Structure 1
């Protein structure tokens, strides 16, 4: 069984892009890497074996959803997430903060990513106090408190290799003083998360049901450089294995890029750097250049459920197989793609599956999208190793 270790193995000569290895007890993650969201311990229509067969290195599951169904104690009794879902590779769990505040505010999920559309979704967050966040379950309306201590305890019960501190996620459209107050609360919650991680009340210190774990801190501060500096200083003073960039990233892609670039420029090479909730290919290529090592996003499997496949054949980077123009199309989803879907099925057939309401359609596109993202990440890693990153980026988007 491997111990935890982070190392940079190759730096791009012309940018801050880098290749590295994150060693965990359940395997090594070659970075830059994409982390697929198995939010409820499932990759939506795909088995863990299918994910592995398509070169997936690591998955993410969610504290908020799993505490409600089936419950972290149930998963702990099964030996943790690895056993529960038969995934033999590394797992990261988020703290539940993003989902809690996203569902609670109704719009924060979009606004963190620079989208300003307000959601009509019913809000579930009741109250945020220094103790934690009180919310109503979206399943049955029951009330729950999620605190830093409870979040860490749940994540130790889930047994992921990499876990995150509990933080408060705020939307874009709040004042600087409100952003600062939220950041300061997140720092206090982070300190409590660390303390809980080191306790030995129910597992040995720094361990969960599956053995050793490592803790990531989260850098907050919104779009404000002085607040980002303050949060960076706080996180660097603590003994984290890795750091995640969280909070609002602005109202536009340019603003997001500026926030991430500024933050990574002040972090160095000591930690693997994770960017929460970003997964668009153009964003990944751009942000790898600033020194981001891992990304997570629901996008590849979420769009697959709506008949949308990732592609390099147009500027949008996507095609919708529900469109009538694919009814008689004898091409694969992506010309030259070597995934099982593209080597065995036409667009015409997948169009038919969605028109017929057949589950196989979303499975076939999900397989393609996962393969597509992993192939892209391998292309990025190869380009860094060969000092060919910019040319590889241009080639990727000109194909």
Structure 2
């Protein structure tokens, strides 16, 4: 695809961690990269300018939620997501496949489609592979995802096999329905934590020759060690010359472990969700700002951070905002947390280029395990 080029600049031979550049119609993404989640065409609490200041290169929006409101037709009429939300960089939209898992009580699954009952007004939303492509084409993201089925991690093996096979069939139909050359369509490898099912899924998707591949169905209740074990045998199944995207992950330690296993792209709501709940990520570990010990603490959230929040405001002030239920508190901590994630990815890219990703992991885990 002429609109998209993926270049690997360095691979750490000791770990398999990769540094690359992914050229898209709305700019180049340096990988590994973390994408903030903007479910409804907004990253909660931040303006696009503030989001850019965190170092974010690419953001994610949600097909299911945007199809319900304001509607894909409205977004298209307003010039597509980039114009609508005033984010000038690359955008990825997921397919609604995760909602097959997360909204299971509100949907019916068929061989050729999934039908949701809206959590807003009870209306029906039908997603077939063709309809999923049509919606994402209207939204106009740079990168779009095939419709897939994400099974629970503890589902019976028969159900996991059904989900894998349905995901493969739907991926083929998505590829055949997709029309826009300025969008990169990714296939999604499913299979829970079962190695044979992951191999079955990858074997079905690789011949479809997608410009990128995602690992779905992780961080859905399994233990972190199981997630890492699954990545150990799944990532080698993916093409080395395409971006690899681990969907919905996660904690800083999960990003670190994923990068060292060869993952290039991540997304998660955790930085902003924790920020709205008075919890900050710092170079020394988690910081809970509501704790009484921060009532008169003049230090910044993270003394090693150079984001605008840490340059200007004290822990005592941010705690006061939360205790007073002032909306600025969640905004400031979300801003800081996103900046923390972007700094982590920049530091990882530097470590990989210098062939010291394993040492970086050891040092960083030791620091995060300290109590703040």
Shared fold (TM-score, shorter chain, > 0.5): yes
- Secondary structure of the 1:237 match is helix
1:180-199 equivalent positions in 2, closer than 5 A = 180-197=161-178
Equivalent residue number for residue 110 of structure 1: none
Task: Note closer, same or farther for the CA distance 1:44–1:394 as it changes in structure 2 (3 Å cut).
Answer: same
1:6 and 2:13 are equivalent in the alignment:
no
- Secondary structure of the 2:103 match is helix
The equivalent position to 2:322 in structure 1, one of 336, 341, 354, is 354
Q: Distance in 2 between matches of 1:384 and 1:97?
A: 32
CA RMSD in angstroms comes to 1.3
Question: How far 1:268 moved relative to its partner?
Answer: 4.0
1:221 and 2:191 are equivalent in the alignment:
yes
Equivalent residue number for residue 234 of structure 1: 204
C-alpha contact (below 8 Å) 1:8/1:269 kept by paired residues: no
Q: Which digits, 9 at most, give the CA deviation of each residue in 1:219-246, with x for residues without a partner?
A: 1112221221111111110120100001
Larger mean Cα displacement after TM superposition, 240-249 or 297-306: 240-249
The equivalent position to 1:304 in structure 2, one of 258, 263, 275, is 275
Q: Distance in 2 between matches of 1:340 and 1:398?
A: 26
C-alpha contact (below 8 Å) 1:309/1:369 kept by paired residues: yes
1:262-277 equivalent positions in 2, closer than 5 A = 262-277=233-248
Equivalent residue number for residue 384 of structure 1: 352
Q: Which digits, 9 at most, give the CA deviation of each residue in 1:310-367, with x for residues without a partner?
A: 1122xxx311212222111111001121010001000000000011111111111011
Q: Distance in 2 between matches of 1:189 and 1:78?
A: 29
Aligned residues: 365
Question: How far 1:248 moved relative to its partner?
Answer: 4.6
C-alpha contact (below 8 Å) 1:257/1:287 kept by paired residues: yes
Q: Distance in 2 between matches of 1:398 and 1:326?
A: 24
Equivalent residue number for residue 24 of structure 1: 24
Q: Distance in 1 between matches of 2:357 and 2:222?
A: 27
1:239-318 equivalent positions in 2, closer than 5 A = 239-248=209-218, 251-313=222-284, 317-318=285-286
Q: Distance in 2 between matches of 1:206 and 1:130?
A: 25
Task: Structure 1 unaligned segments of length 5 or more: list them.
Answer: 105-122, 198-204
Q: Which digits, 9 at most, give the CA deviation of each residue in 1:29-86, with x for residues without a partner?
A: 0001001100110110101111111110000000000000110100000110000000
Question: How far 1:266 moved relative to its partner?
Answer: 2.2
Task: Structure 2 unaligned segments of length 5 or more: list them.
Answer: 368-372
1:46-85 equivalent positions in 2, closer than 5 A = 46-85=46-85
- Secondary structure of the 1:154 match is helix
TM-score for the superposition, normalised by structure 1: 0.89
The equivalent position to 2:106 in structure 1, one of 115, 124, 141, is 124
Question: How far 1:3 moved relative to its partner?
Answer: 2.6
Equivalent residue number for residue 370 of structure 2: none
C-alpha contact (below 8 Å) 1:170/1:248 kept by paired residues: no
Question: How far 1:87 moved relative to its partner?
Answer: 0.4
Q: Which digits, 9 at most, give the CA deviation of each residue in 1:127-153, with x for residues without a partner?
A: 111121112111111122111111111
Question: How far 1:96 moved relative to its partner?
Answer: 0.9
- Secondary structure of the 1:265 match is helix
C-alpha contact (below 8 Å) 1:64/1:100 kept by paired residues: no
Question: How far 1:385 moved relative to its partner?
Answer: 0.3
C-alpha contact (below 8 Å) 2:218/2:247 kept by paired residues: no
The equivalent position to 1:374 in structure 2, one of 342, 348, 351, is 342
C-alpha contact (below 8 Å) 1:75/1:158 kept by paired residues: yes
Larger mean Cα displacement after TM superposition, 38-47 or 264-273: 264-273
Question: How far 1:397 moved relative to its partner?
Answer: 3.1
Larger mean Cα displacement after TM superposition, 43-52 or 142-151: 142-151
Equivalent residue number for residue 116 of structure 2: 135
Equivalent residue number for residue 206 of structure 1: 180
- Secondary structure of the 1:274 match is strand
Question: How far 1:265 moved relative to its partner?
Answer: 1.6
